[in-house]
Amino acid sequence: MSVDRGHAAATYDLVVVANRLPVDRVVEDDGTVSWRRSPGGLVTAVEPVMQSHDGAWVGWTGGPDSDEEPPEESGMRLVPVSLSEQEIEYFYEGFSNGTLWPLYHDVVAKPEFHREWWDAYVTVNRRFAERTAELAAENAMVWVHDYQLQLVPGMLRELRPDLRIGFFLHIPFPPLELFVQLPWRRQILEGLLGADLVGFQRPGGAQNFVRLVRQRVGHKTHRDLVYLPDGRTVEAAAFPISIDYDGLAELSRSEAVEARAKEIREQLGNPRHLLLGVDRLDYTKGIYKRLRAFGELLEEGTLDVEEAVFLQVATPSRERVDEYRRLRDEIDRLVGHINGDYGRIGRPAISYLHASYPREEMAAMFRAADIMVVTPLRDGMNLVAKEYVACRESNDGALVLSEFAGAADELKQAFLVNPYDINGMKSAVLDAMRAKPRDLNRRMKAMRKTVKEHDVAAWAAEFMGRLSEARPAHHKRLRPHDSD
């Protein structure tokens, strides 16, 4: 049970630590403050899990110098960690998204290595660890998330050896040959080894990690276990993340969503084939190549705008990072070019939207689309692929899915593609369009069964269950003042 000694000193048996809180602080034009849902798959997955547990969530509010505490969410306390303007630049945009993000995604963009970015990463990770150490009850379970906070497990272990610490990486963990480029590779590995359980999206990530620890840190390992000199054992394993299948499926069945799906199709001119892409505007998502493939199908005359329309939703992300700005410009140009060349009055080939939408609207788009095109160059999981499947109650619709998304391990009945192979993507889209309803039905049924059985509740239960077994909670709490 949580101990409440007034809010300031309350402690919690479960603490989630992630770079972002599930809500972002937004200052409206008239100066009033409101809280908006944070972007990305991490929040989609972890929020429903935390709503069924009392606990605290430690994270950043998305803006500079803000330690204003957002209102509690379903009994979960949201505890802000403040970042200065310069820390946002060095820690978040710099080391997290200019160094680690591209390095961990197969170097699809060039990672930059700057010592001042690293220093900010250490400082901010220490701040997260210290705040968490204050909030965690004796022998509490702490679940640290994602690449922005890889030093937190090690720092927290030093501050609070009594805690059970789990870490889950939402993005891919790279092979040794890429990881070793990182000048601070040893510190990152040691940071992760502060956890009792380190979780990855795919078995390959866990294997990469254990191999690195053996070869670069010199610890003994056996299969997925690492033996540390202090007697601790760290387990590394895959826990493929998922979605709240039942919640989304129910929403997608509602009359309002059904009506909106129909309306979306009408507004797009009731095409025979409605293709859909939904992504953060990120260079890992393969949006450019995907739209090029579609553009070529129009150019060759294989498709015509009277029969096929592409709805691409691309939420702007990390907009101050150069690589993201360049990508946005490139895609804007490509969409303009394709629409200019192949669109007709009232009938653009690509309907391109930058907005962020409520869940109902997303569900309506998933229901409206005949073909969902998910073609990341590399992706930890990709929840959008699973969300589409959850919304296809009538077992129709086709999923074109990149082999390089974690979701491809489970969604084997998708039309799988190599996202670097533009001709291959064109063929897959045509195969999906020409597939017999019986074939689509068989594929969708199988994928829906998989996602339903492995939903986000199962993911969390499996991770937390394994973490509870990871080590007995007998380590005595040792803090400097305890021995005074």
| d(C-alpha 154, C-alpha 444), whole Å | 43
Output helix, strand, coil percentages for the chain, rounded to the nearest 5.
45, 20, 35
Q: How many residues bind ligand ADP (CB under 6 A)?
A: 15
Q: Residue 460 binds what, of ligand ADP, ligand F6P, none (CB under 5 to 8 Å, by partner type)?
A: none
Residue 41 binds to ligand F6P (criterion: CB under 6 A): yes
Least distance in angstroms from the C-beta of 143 to ligand ADP: 17
Q: Which helix (H) or strand (E) holds 181?
A: none
Radius of gyration of the chain (CA): 23
CA-based nearest residue to 372, from 352, 394, 342, 396: 396
Question: How wide is the angle at C-alpha 200 spanned by C-alphas 247 and 171, nearest 5°?
Answer: 80
* Residue entry with tokens 């895609």: 331
Q: What is the largest CA-CA distance in the chain?
A: 80
Least distance in angstroms from the C-beta of 49 to ligand F6P: 15
Least distance in angstroms from the C-beta of 55 to ligand F6P: 18
Q: Which helix (H) or strand (E) holds 89?
A: none
Least distance in angstroms from the C-beta of 39 to ligand F6P: 5
Residues ≥6 apart with Cβ < 8 Å to 449:
none
| d(C-alpha 350, C-alpha 328), whole Å | 15
Stretch that binds ligand F6P, among 39-47, 113-121, 363-371, 422-430 (CB under 6 A): 39-47
Q: Residue 278 binds what, of ligand F6P, ligand ADP, none (CB under 5 to 8 Å, by partner type)?
A: ligand ADP
Least distance in angstroms from the C-beta of 250 to ligand F6P: 25
Residues of span 304-343 touching ligand ADP by CB under 6 A: 313, 315
Q: In terms of CB distance, is 40 or 48 closer to ligand ADP?
A: 40
φ, ψ at 42 (rounded to 5°): -60, -50
Whether the CB-CB separation of 221 and 213 falls below 8 Å is answered with: yes
Whether the CB-CB separation of 277 and 289 falls below 8 Å is answered with: no
Whether the CB-CB separation of 350 and 338 falls below 8 Å is answered with: yes
Residue 323 binds to ligand F6P (criterion: CB under 6 A): no
Q: Residue 383 binds what, of ligand F6P, ligand ADP, none (CB under 5 to 8 Å, by partner type)?
A: ligand ADP
Q: Residue 99 binds what, of ligand F6P, ligand ADP, none (CB under 5 to 8 Å, by partner type)?
A: none
Q: In terms of CB distance, is 221 or 252 closer to ligand ADP?
A: 252
Q: Residue 313 binds what, of ligand ADP, ligand F6P, none (CB under 5 to 8 Å, by partner type)?
A: ligand ADP
Residue 171 binds to ligand F6P (criterion: CB under 6 A): yes
Which residue type is seen at 307?
E
| Site track 131-160 with ligand F6P (rule: CB under 6 A), x = hit | ---------------x--------------
Least distance in angstroms from the C-beta of 323 to ligand ADP: 15
Least distance in angstroms from the C-beta of 438 to ligand F6P: 36
End-to-end CA distance of the chain: 27
Q: Quick one: which of 42, 165, 249, 274 contacts ligand F6P (CB under 6 A)?
A: 42
Q: Residue 318 binds what, of ligand F6P, ligand ADP, none (CB under 5 to 8 Å, by partner type)?
A: ligand F6P
Q: Quick one: which of 12, 20, 206, 414 contacts ligand F6P (CB under 6 A)?
A: 20
Residue 317 binds to ligand F6P (criterion: CB under 6 A): yes
Least distance in angstroms from the C-beta of 146 to ligand F6P: 4
Reduce the secondary structure of 389-443 to three states and give it as a string: HHCCCCCCCEEEEECCEHHHHCCCCCEEECCCCHHHHHHHHHHHHHCCHHHHHHH
Q: Residue 378 binds what, of ligand F6P, ligand ADP, none (CB under 5 to 8 Å, by partner type)?
A: none
Q: Quick one: which of 160, 280, 290, 328 contacts ligand ADP (CB under 6 A)?
A: 280
Judged by DSSP in three states, 365 sits in helix
Least distance in angstroms from the C-beta of 447 to ligand ADP: 16
Residues ≥6 apart with Cβ < 8 Å to 302:
426, 430
CA-based nearest residue to 102, from 282, 281, 277, 239: 282
| CA trace torsion 463, 465, 471, 473 (10° rounding) | 120
Residue 276 binds to ligand ADP (criterion: CB under 6 A): no
Residue 328 binds to ligand F6P (criterion: CB under 6 A): no
CA-based nearest residue to 279, from 317, 323, 331, 330: 317
Residues of span 332-391 touching ligand ADP by CB under 6 A: 356-357, 362, 381-384, 387
Q: In terms of CB distance, is 43 or 432 closer to ligand F6P?
A: 43
CA-based nearest residue to 388, from 377, 398, 403: 398
Q: In terms of CB distance, is 381 or 440 closer to ligand ADP?
A: 381
What is the number of the residue whose Cβ is closest to ligand F6P?
A: 40
Long-range CB pairs of 324-329, under 8 A, 24+ apart, other chains included? 324/281, 324/282, 324/283, 327/281, 327/282, 327/283, 327/287, 327/288, 328/281
What is the number of the residue whose Cβ is closest to ligand ADP?
A: 41
Residue 23 binds to ligand ADP (criterion: CB under 6 A): no
Binding site for ligand F6P (CB under 6 A): 19-20, 39-42, 146, 170-171, 317-318
Binding site for ligand ADP (CB under 6 A): 40-41, 44, 278, 280, 313, 315, 356-357, 362, 381-384, 387
